[in-house]
Structure 1
Amino acid sequence: IVGRPNVGKSSIFNWLARRRLAIVDDMAGVTRDRMTYLMEADGRYFELVDTGGMGIEDPDNLTGQIEDQISTGIETADVILFVVDTRAGLTPHDQEVAKRLRYIDKPIICVANKSDSENLDPQADEFYRLGRGKLLVVSTRADRNRPELLSMIVERLPPPLDDQPSSEPVMKVTIVGRRNVGKSTFVNSLANAERMIVSEVPGTTRDSVDVRFQLDGKEFIAIDTPGLRKNKSVRTNIDFYGTHRAKRGIRRADVVLLFFDASQRISKVDKQLCSYVAENYKPCVFVVNKWDLYYKQMPTDRWVTYLRDTFQTMWHVPIAFVTGQTGKNVKALLNHAQMLFKQSLSRVSTGQLNRLIKAAIEATPPPLHNHRRPKIFYATQVGIQPPTIVLVCNDPKAFSPTYRRYLLGVLRDQLSFGEVPIKLYLKRRASSDKRSDLEDPDTTPAEDVLEEVNDFDELERFPPDDDESDLSDMQFEA
């Protein structure tokens, strides 16, 4: 999707995808990186690519890099949507864009956007003078001619490949962190291409951007997110949507890579990001970037101690030291992230869980509550991503937070998913449930418990919600 600034390219992108993916704003030059979205229409899969405005003068001196991103998008495209503005009419800037497309030997569709009613359609006829592909009038606001545009795109796609799609799920890795910690440089190292605009200017990335790449024959999706900073006021629409997309990138992730700059201290923003990752139960790796420049000032063991002391509830999170610019340790980091992804998909039998919980209780019985010993009848896993375990007991409130942490630690130490978050529930046994207790370790009540898992009057989660923090006062740096 190409065109001059402010013709509605990002609106077209969101409209076709039926998602609010790209930031849409009246200010020219909001889009910098290429945004992508894999979608399906008429039985064909294809990737939409949104680009920045051609000829934009960027205030942060990134014009050259934005133009490089546009050129790369055009070179790798199979079909080009040349977007123009019906209400504004034909401009010299449109003619300059048409000149750039003159020698592009690819199907081009001239999309006359902002044709909100049929009364405006005759105004679009002047775009025939550009001589660049089939003309179609559309309106994202009035939802005009979306099926027609999708059909035209599909008709112009190359023949489908015979390759069978992989049966393995594609892992989504979200890269988060403060501004200017090297997230986009790291993504470029993964993709082996200048996929993201990289600059010393903080806040260069404005959208969360999906980048597809392959490693050792396996496909991955890296989600680069805007850098966040502490800011109690939302100054612009771009600030608001940038923060929203960073948080959504975390929620979409299979694994989160939380980046730290080796030259800087851990900040409140880092702590809030970590809390948001934990709140969403996402597998995570602490990534110390720019390690080659600062390892002499702060050796590896000191950084590990620093991170462990700062994030004392996240001892299960692995730590990696990388140099995104040179690619050092990047492949090893991705392999470890893939291992975390597999752990989050792991299942354990009810029999194994019951034997494990029984041994833990025998080793350290729960403290008395109201002069009575709390009792766990059985345990079962009811979900994955994250692994979700329910302990059916006589009284959830009888188990102290300390004892719950003990049980969670036992599960983490003994099971195959020790490096990922575990969601632990305590549920009161229903009066109709006549199953025996842990003496019968092979009971498999997962389906029955799953049906009741939304009964929050009788169900308590650990860790509790009270300790969760949000990012409402954090804003991305534009």
Structure 2
Amino acid sequence: MPVPQVVIVGRPNVGKSSLFNWLAGTKIAIVDDQPGVTRDRITHLMCHEDRFFELVDTGGMGFNDADNLTQHIEDQITVALESADLILFLLDTRSGLMPMDQEIAKRLRLVKVPVVCVANKTDDHTFDTAADDFHRLGFGSPVKVSVLQNRNRGILLNRIIDTLPEPGDDNTPDAEPTMKVAIVGRRNVGKSTFVNTLAKAERMIVSEVPGTTRDSVDVRFELDGKAFIAIDTPGLRKGKSQRDIDFYGMHRAQRSIRRADVVFLFHDCTERIGKVDKQLCDYITSQYKPCFIVVNKWDELAGTMPTEKWVNYIHDTYRTMRYAPIAFITGKSGKNVKALLNHGQMLFKQARSRVGTGELNRMLRDAVKRKAPPMYQNRRPKIYYATQVGIEPPTIVLFCSQPAAIDANYQRYLLNTFREQLDFDEVPIKLYLRRRSDSDLRDDIGSEAMADA
């Protein structure tokens, strides 16, 4: 399963960013008395009782931003709630239950994940009775904490671990999950024709499946006995006004990308890559979704342009997605469509792959031996060991002496090494850097490798 996400929500000025920093054990989110400071989601990888999870800070719910970013803040909160495995509903014991708290509670009752009430500013036991009033929101007994007085941090972390869903065994031989494919791209690149071709293709069965949102209709197919769901999305064009229908089309495409297991980013081979294509690529990358870059209508250029020219063009344009495979198809005739779907299944499998800790660290030791981390402040940082903590996307944690010392270039080197030697060479990999705790005595593979070099 992916690394679970624990999302902090609440009205402005209840101490969400302070709670985030307190639980993380370091100052990451900006803390200020002025409401609305936090606008984007902020994420930090946590580990407690050998369970990893991502802690997510969000902006204040119900806040009208002075810089006209209210809709942006709301969109970020919505994305966080959609991806949450557990929600921490933060309340202020000193101010008591407010009307906005009750409005937020109504919204959270519609979310199908556990909600834990956290009563902040419960500085000592004399405030406990006031905090108990939050019980009537319907989310059980609140966890009484105080960031300022450092009260009950361990109790809250234990509650988080106890409430998170149990980690599944990713290697159990259960029925193969159904792959969801989002088909995105500009208008007139052939998305609908591609879906129609799927519906008529030999050995495929198509049936309408009710969509999980009002924004799209899911279509279920079977190919050679393997089921998948195609999420068709509206075509997009460049639009500057938020009143333009394409503004909402982009939001629908983004939601479909978030729901998907694999994304097919469609292009018309007779047109140049444009701004909308780049925006979609950036969003797919930010969501760590496996992606197939699809060049459609290739019959119109076949014999007049080598595929290598388009491949180089794509790599030069989408520099953050060089690992993504590229397919040249003709959706109207069905040429290469089946091969595309079969390869899409391979991406889905790669994103769900796990590698053993021993194999991962042997490979990491060899990578450090070939190229040691660069010097940082006259000292060479040490890499101790790595472990994979999640799938979809494959998520690897690298324990080292100084996370800030492992620069972006060296991280890219390690990611490329992982792709070359592991089973997920065509999908995004999420890499976290963490400082090794003093009580962790596991092998220092970096020192050993550099001593051998």
- TM-score under structure 1 length normalisation: 0.53
- Deviation track 1:426-470 (CA, whole Å, cap 9, x = no partner) reads 1011122222322899xxxxxxxxxxxxxxxxxxxxxxxxxxxxx
Q: Which residue number corresponds to residue 349 of structure 2?
A: 342
Q: Which residue number corresponds to residue 225 of structure 2?
A: 217
Q: CA deviation at 1:299?
A: 2.3
- After TM superposition, the structure 1 stretch with the greater mean CA deviation from structure 2, 224-233 or 371-380, is 224-233
Q: Aligned partners of 1:370, 1:440: CA distance in 2, in Å?
A: 17
Structure 2 unaligned regions, length at least 5:
1-173, 208-213, 449-453
Q: Which residue number corresponds to residue 270 of structure 1?
A: 277
- Deviation track 1:170-225 (CA, whole Å, cap 9, x = no partner) reads 000110000110001101111228989xxxxxxxxx94221101111111100011
Q: Does 1:410 align with 2:417?
A: yes
Aligned 8 A contact 2:386 2:396 in 1: yes
Q: 1:172-191, aligned counterparts within 5 Å?
A: 172-191=180-199
Aligned length, in residue pairs: 266
Q: Aligned partners of 2:343, 2:398: CA distance in 1, in Å?
A: 30
Q: Aligned partners of 1:354, 1:411: CA distance in 2, in Å?
A: 11
Match of 1:250 among 233, 253, 257: 257
Aligned 8 A contact 2:238 2:246 in 1: no
Aligned 8 A contact 1:289 1:323 in 2: yes
2:319 alignment partner, SS class: coil
- Deviation track 1:132-171 (CA, whole Å, cap 9, x = no partner) reads xxxxxxxxxxxxxxxxxxxxxxxxxxxxxxxxxx811000
Match of 2:309 among 302, 306, 316: 302
Aligned 8 A contact 2:419 2:425 in 1: yes
Q: Which residue number corresponds to residue 372 of structure 1?
A: 379
1:228 alignment partner, SS class: coil
Amino acid in the other structure paired with 2:334: G
Q: Aligned partners of 1:281, 1:218: CA distance in 2, in Å?
A: 24
2:396 alignment partner, SS class: strand
- Deviation track 1:55-91 (CA, whole Å, cap 9, x = no partner) reads xxxxxxxxxxxxxxxxxxxxxxxxxxxxxxxxxxxxx
Q: CA deviation at 1:406?
A: 0.7
Larger Rg computed on CA atoms: 1
Find runs of 4+ consecutive structure 1 residues off by over 3 angstroms. 193-196, 238-241
Q: Aligned partners of 2:375, 2:446: CA distance in 1, in Å?
A: 21
Q: Does 1:235 align with 2:243?
A: yes
- Deviation track 1:377-403 (CA, whole Å, cap 9, x = no partner) reads 110000000000000001100111111
Q: Aligned partners of 2:376, 2:185: CA distance in 1, in Å?
A: 43
Q: 1:1-150, aligned counterparts within 5 Å?
A: none
Q: Aligned partners of 1:289, 1:276: CA distance in 2, in Å?
A: 21
Amino acid in the other structure paired with 1:362: K
Aligned 8 A contact 2:262 2:289 in 1: yes
- Deviation track 1:9-48 (CA, whole Å, cap 9, x = no partner) reads xxxxxxxxxxxxxxxxxxxxxxxxxxxxxxxxxxxxxxxx
Match of 1:421 among 390, 415, 428: 428
Aligned 8 A contact 1:173 1:221 in 2: yes
Q: 1:320-339, aligned counterparts within 5 Å?
A: 320-339=327-346
Q: CA deviation at 1:311?
A: 1.4
Q: CA deviation at 1:298?
A: 2.6
Q: Aligned partners of 1:287, 1:207: CA distance in 2, in Å?
A: 23
Amino acid in the other structure paired with 1:235: R
Aligned 8 A contact 1:389 1:424 in 2: yes
Q: Aligned partners of 1:219, 1:382: CA distance in 2, in Å?
A: 28
Q: Aligned partners of 2:250, 2:370: CA distance in 1, in Å?
A: 46
Q: CA deviation at 1:308?
A: 1.3
Q: How many percent identity over aligned positions?
A: 65
Aligned 8 A contact 2:354 2:388 in 1: yes
Q: Does 1:287 align with 2:290?
A: no
1:313 alignment partner, SS class: helix
Q: Aligned partners of 1:435, 1:307: CA distance in 2, in Å?
A: 42
Q: Which residue number corresponds to residue 177 of structure 2?
A: 169
- Deviation track 1:71-124 (CA, whole Å, cap 9, x = no partner) reads xxxxxxxxxxxxxxxxxxxxxxxxxxxxxxxxxxxxxxxxxxxxxxxxxxxxxx
- TM-score under structure 2 length normalisation: 0.56
Q: Aligned partners of 1:213, 1:322: CA distance in 2, in Å?
A: 19
2:321 alignment partner, SS class: coil
Amino acid in the other structure paired with 2:364: I
Q: CA deviation at 1:370?
A: 1.1
Q: Which residue number corresponds to residue 321 of structure 2?
A: 314
Aligned 8 A contact 1:191 1:211 in 2: no
2:250 alignment partner, SS class: helix
Aligned 8 A contact 2:285 2:320 in 1: no
- Deviation track 1:275-317 (CA, whole Å, cap 9, x = no partner) reads 1100000001110001111224432121111111111232211
Q: CA RMSD in A?
A: 2.2
Q: Aligned partners of 2:364, 2:406: CA distance in 1, in Å?
A: 14
Structure 1 unaligned regions, length at least 5:
1-165, 197-205, 442-478
Q: Aligned partners of 1:209, 1:242: CA distance in 2, in Å?
A: 14
2:372 alignment partner, SS class: coil
Q: CA deviation at 1:246?
A: 1.0
